[in-house]
């Protein structure tokens, strides 16, 4: 027992104006025993604590937890309401309720359940750093199997997944590799937990440039995917889609993307399905030729769901791809407006999604007469930011897009000096793209 019980005994004794001798007499125990309880040096039996509670005019539960039964009932109702808010797409309201319960220092079971809620709310808001912090706190509690904490295995899988979503490749791998080994050692290969861990670990390998490890892991996980639950299925199918697209196996990538979407329709998360639609739209626009109409339809459906839930991070990602559609349709002005909306939605918070929106906004400006130089500068700055953040794949793509845009400008230029300058800028951007790709290759070979 922690000193929390002793602190409550002392606080109530002081409030009642009792001396330790008086309380000891009323509860039928010795004064030194009261002293040791208040100092946290003695754990009284429940029947002794009941007598102390009666002497102090409170309930046994209050001394044990700091709350009375009516308060616990109210707190449980608040937990349920917060869960409803989260399910109905109001993560801000849910986070406020969970935070109030988690910081009140009341019933420990409720407090831990509230921290679990805070992790889920933070993830829904795109605040993966906060989600990871909450999960780390719960993992430390799970070592002693606190009654309010989710099962430790689920905590560890979700912790690995959240670091993967945050783009923290090193931490995802650090957690994922021993977790995957543990799952397989305990005959859990093919379980949802094993497949979900493998899915995020393979994506981390891919981001690191270790394509061989990523492909080996995907091959193993796909063998069991058909028997997995919808969440695990959608994760492994989509991450397999990413690898197939990277190898330019677009037919396979589209088939895997279809399976990912099919699995997500059976998931409880409309937001996850909407995010997959956004990702599939990106894939469709990178086919040769781009499937613009189909991508537009996917984005329209995704936007409808995300706007209804007012999920800013995912809305910004959706708007970024909607701007890409507008560019492909030759409407640079509309693309700039949509990408600008995505940038405003993200705000000043540093994130790779913000830089990706700036890339598309800059590419849109590059198609508007008189704004080309502004656009080139914006794409260049965003590519540099992505590179500094070790988002080398996104940086390589941004530099390549800039190079192609500058090359197209050089072909339209009338003056020889302009053609030379723009061609030189295109060559430099191609070189930067190659350097980023080379960084990925080096990372993979030295991992």
- Mean pLDDT over 370-384 rounds to 97
- What are the domain boundaries of the chain? 4-65, 69-150, 292-447
pLDDT tens sequence across 299-340: 999 999 999 877 778 899 999 999 999 999 999 999 999 999
pLDDT of residue 239: 94
In Å, how far from its chain's centre is CA 122? 8
Does the pLDDT of residue 224 top 60, yes or no? Answer: yes
pLDDT tens sequence across 155-169: 899 999 999 988 888
- Stated pTM of the model: 0.73
C-alpha torsion angle, residues 314, 320, 324, 327 (rounded to 10)? 150
pLDDT of residue 151: 62
pLDDT tens sequence across 236-276: 999 999 999 888 888 899 899 999 999 988 876 788 889 89
- Mean pLDDT over 165-176 rounds to 91
Lowest mean pLDDT among 173-177, 209-213, 365-369, 406-410: 209-213
Task: Check the CA dihedral 44-46-48-49 and report its sign.
Answer: positive
Tokens (6 digits) for 126: 């795109």
* CATH topology assigned to domain 4-65: 434 Repressor (Amino-terminal Domain) (1.10.260)
pLDDT mean across residues, the chain: 88
pLDDT tens sequence across 92-107: 999 999 999 888 755 6
Out of 3.30.70, 3.30.310, 1.10.3470, 1.25.40, which CATH number does the structure's domain 292-447 have? 1.25.40
- Mean pLDDT over 62-91 rounds to 80
Lowest mean pLDDT among 20-29, 85-94, 306-315: 306-315
């Amino acid at each position: 027992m922690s000193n929390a019980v002793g602190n409550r005994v002392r606080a109530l004794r002081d409030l009642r104006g009792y001396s330790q001798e008086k309380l000891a007499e009323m509860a039928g125990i010795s004064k030194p025993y009261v002293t040791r309880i208040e100092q946290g040096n003695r754990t009284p039996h429940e029947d002794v604590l009941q007598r102390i509670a009666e002497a102090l005019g409170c309930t046994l539960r209050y001394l044990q937890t700091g709350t009375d039964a009516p308060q616990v009932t109210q707190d449980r109702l608040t937990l349920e309401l917060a869960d409803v808010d989260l399910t109905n797409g109001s993560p801000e309201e849910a986070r406020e309720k969970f935070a109030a319960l988690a910081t009140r220092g009341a019933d420990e079971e409720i407090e831990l359940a509230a921290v679990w809620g805070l992790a889920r709310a933070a993830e829904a808001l795109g605040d993966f750093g906060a989600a990871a912090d909450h999960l780390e706190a719960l993992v430390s509690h799970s070592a002693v199997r606190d009654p309010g904490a989710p099962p430790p295995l689920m905590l560890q899988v979700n912790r690995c997944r959240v670091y993967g979503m945050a783009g923290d490749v090193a931490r995802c791998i650090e957690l994922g590799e021993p977790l995957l080994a543990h799952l397989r050692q305990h005959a859990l290969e093919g379980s949802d937990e094993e497949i979900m861990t493998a899915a995020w670990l393979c994506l981390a390998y891919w981001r690191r440039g270790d394509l061989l490890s990523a492909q080996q892991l995907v091959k193993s996980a796909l063998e069991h995917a058909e028997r997995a639950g919808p969440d695990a299925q959608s994760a492994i199918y989509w991450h397999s889609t990413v690898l197939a697209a990277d190898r330019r196996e677009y037919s396979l990538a589209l088939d895997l993307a279809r399976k990912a979407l099919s699995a997500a329709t059976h998931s409880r998360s409309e937001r996850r399905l909407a995010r997959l639609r956004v990702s599939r739209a990106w894939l469709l626009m990178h086919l040769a030729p781009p499937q613009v109409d189909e991508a537009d339809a996917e984005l329209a459906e995704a936007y409808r769901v995300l706007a209804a839930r007012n999920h800013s991070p995912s809305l910004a990602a959706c708007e970024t791809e909607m701007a890409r559609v507008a560019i492909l349709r030759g409407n640079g002005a509309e693309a700039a407006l949509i990408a600008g909306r995505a940038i405003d939605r993200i705000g000043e918070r540093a994130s790779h999604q913000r830089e990706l929106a700036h890339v598309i906004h800059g590419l849109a400006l590059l198609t508007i007469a008189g704004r080309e130089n502004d656009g080139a500068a914006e794409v260049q700055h965003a590519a540099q930011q992505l590179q500094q953040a070790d988002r080398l794949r996104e940086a390589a793509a941004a530099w390549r897009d800039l190079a192609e845009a500058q090359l197209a400008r050089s072909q339209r230029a009338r003056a020889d000096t302009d053609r030379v300058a723009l061609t030189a800028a295109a060559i430099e951007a191609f070189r930067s793209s190659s350097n980023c790709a080379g960084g990925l290759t080096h990372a993979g070979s030295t991992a």
